A and B are shown apart, each in its own frame.
Chain A
Amino acid sequence: MRKGFWDGKRRYVALLMLIAGIFVALRVPPVVPIIQLPGEKYPPGTIELPFGLGVMTNTLMMSIIVWILLVILALYVRSRRPKSGAEVPRGGFYNLFEMVFEGLYGFVSGLAPERYFRPIFGMFMTIFLIVLLSNWAELLPGIDSVGFIEPHYEIVVDEETGEAQHVPTDGWEIYPAFLGGWALNGQCDWVSPEAEAQADADAFASAEQAAEEARAEAELELKQAGGHGEEATEAAAEESGHGEEATASTIDPDARAEEAFREAEAAYVAQKQARRDRGCYTGVAQIAWSDLDAKNFSDTTVEDDHAATEDEVAADAEHGETTDDLAAAGEEPSEENGGEEEEFHVDPNDPEQRKAWPFVVLPYIRSPSTDLNMTLALALSAMAMVQVIGFQALGLGYLRKFFAFENLFKSPLGAIDVFVGLLELIGEFAKVLSFAFRLLGNIFAGSILLFVMSFLVTVMPWPFFMLEFFVGIIQALVFALLTAIFMSLATVSHHHDDEHGEHAEEGAH
């Protein structure tokens, strides 16, 4: 074997990549993505599909990549294949492909009748290749974690006015990661400004309540202690014996109230500060708390908040953000309520908009096998081809498989034949769903497993990648093999007086 440049050096490359992976994982901790079954739509304004197909989805994008890869494979094999059986394969990737191809050829030639070998093998190989590449797509690094950082919202249509409105749902805050890109902050789930204002108000209310309680308590103590004061005459009469001027003068209800208020405020501020320490925004806290000034309480926390906010803005500016962007902040997204989706746009570079929306990752590509469109399309094609080859082999006699009325009046078991035929007819439709959901379930569950494991172990979820590698092969093989078997079975008649059937049966054994 030729000694190449990479011989013996690959391990160091792998080691470097592992270390780089650890650093990236530390810099951008993985975030459990929003799980949804339909393929994620690309953000408006990126790729629009012609013929009214709407917006590109990431599963369709990966499907297109798979198709392109297969076309490249076809051209490659065409250029490299031996021109006759006398030639020996030329080595490299072609050799691997031919080895796999020959194995599958042997596999199918063992079960397909020779007469229908060509279509059966063609279906088998095409399905195998498409499904295999689609399944393995889930193994690509970053397939679930790299994508558009997009605001997450629902469109709610007002029933009365018919106006559509973008309502933020759940998601994460984002922060600038590197290379001018944004990353989700897995530590900080997004809290809407309203919710935060509500929380502030609640905290303020509870602090006020604490202050009131403290004041009431102090006044009670005051009454008990001194008995003086115009509102506590009865109490003073009762407890005149031990009223003390000095004690009473030390109890200041206002001071006690302010103290209690400050305590509650400090606890809440500490909570918010902890959140900020994790890298989150604290939203509109200072606005809510500045209301305290109106209550004549001296403010100690607002300064900190302002300082932190300025730091943040400065940090944002470092990451390629200009003051122009700040100045040219777009329209208020919450006010946007037009039905036109294209007009809806959130600019993460605008701090106001950035804080106003929850963000999620919208992966650029996703394994097509996790999209029902792809699996259902393959299942429909496969079962349609089964019917086609059935008619081709048996002619209209193929229908006798499903509508077995001929024995109905001849034999007492004729009714059972009819029933079995109808069951087979239903079975043909069940097979479509079975095909579609088997592949979808396996690969969807596999990709969820992979990113959940990546989230949990972060650096080395490799065993699961190995597992999914083999699951990908096996599912592709199962899909293709079942298609080939159903096609082989469709060429065989139930009735042995049929010459086609006998021929096919001969070939099948």
Chain B
Amino acid sequence: MEQAQALIILGKAIGAGIAMIGALGGGIGIGLAVSGAVQAMGRNPDHTPTIQTNMILGVAFAEAVAIYALVVALIILFVLQ
């Protein structure tokens, strides 16, 4: 019984860790988006509001993927019985 419990915890921890690898893509995506937006704003400061809006949107979409990974990890950790 004790060992079964430990195995479950082990499995959950490993699973959550693997799930969080998905955050990698989101991080890279956000980095690329912000990099491009900052360059654009530097070259074209007059269009900063438009660029910012679109940047936030892009970042939100990129982040969504990472958040899915996070949610999966959270579900594995706290919801799975």
Contact = CB atoms under 8 A, between A and B. Distances in A.
A441 B60 contact: no
A35 B12 CA distance: 14
B14 interface: no
A260 interface: no
Max chain A Cβ within 10 angstroms of own Cβ: one of B64, B70, B78 = B64
Contacts of A445: 70, 74
Interface in A15-58: 35-37
B26 to A, nearest CB: 11
A398 interface: no
Contact of A35 (B49, B64, B75, B78): B78
Given A37-B79, A434-B64, A441 B74 contact: yes
A425 to B, nearest CB: 19
Contact of B56 (A35, A111, A474): A474
Contacts of A37: 74-75, 78-79
A474 B55 CA distance: 12
A485 B64 CA distance: 16
B57 A36 contact: no
B71 interface: yes
A297 to B, nearest CB: 31
A471 to B, nearest CB: 10
A442 B67 CA distance: 7
Contacts of A442: 63, 67
B57 A438 contact: no
Nearest to A441: B67
B53 interface: yes
Given A35-B78, A37-B78, A482 B60 contact: yes
Interface string B15-37: 00000000000000000000000
Nearest to A485: B57
Interface size grouping (class) on chain B: 10 to 19
Contacts of A183: none
Interface string A418-456: 000000000000000010011011101100000000000
A111 B53 contact: yes
Contacts of A107: 53
A186 B18 CA distance: 30
A311 to B, nearest CB: 34
Contacts of B79: 37
B56 A441 contact: no
A318 B79 CA distance: 41
A481 interface: yes
A347 B78 CA distance: 28
B29 to A, nearest CB: 14
Interface in A217-235: none
Nearest to B49: A110
B57 A441 contact: no
A451 B58 CA distance: 30
Contact of B71 (A35, A440, A478, A485): A440
A132 interface: no
Contact of B68 (A441, A477, A478, A482): A441
A481 B50 CA distance: 13
Contacts of B60: 438, 478, 481-482
A437 B60 CA distance: 12
Interface string A457-485: 00000000000000000100110011001
Given A477-B56, A481-B57, A485-B57, A438 B78 contact: no
B17 to A, nearest CB: 15
B72 to A, nearest CB: 9
Contacts of B74: 37, 441, 444-445
A501 B20 CA distance: 42
B24 to A, nearest CB: 16
- What are the 5 tightest A-B residue pairs by CB atom distance, in nearest-first order? A441-B67, A478-B60, A441-B71, A441-B70, A437-B71
Given A110-B49, A437-B71, 20 more contacts: A35-B77, A35-B78, A36-B78, A37-B78, A111-B53, A434-B64, A438-B64, A438-B67, A440-B71, A441-B68, A441-B70, A442-B67, A445-B70, A445-B74, A477-B56, A478-B60, A481-B57, A482-B57, A482-B60, A485-B57
14 contacts: A37-B74, A37-B79, A110-B49, A437-B67, A438-B67, A441-B68, A441-B70, A441-B74, A442-B63, A445-B74, A477-B56, A481-B56, A481-B60, A482-B57
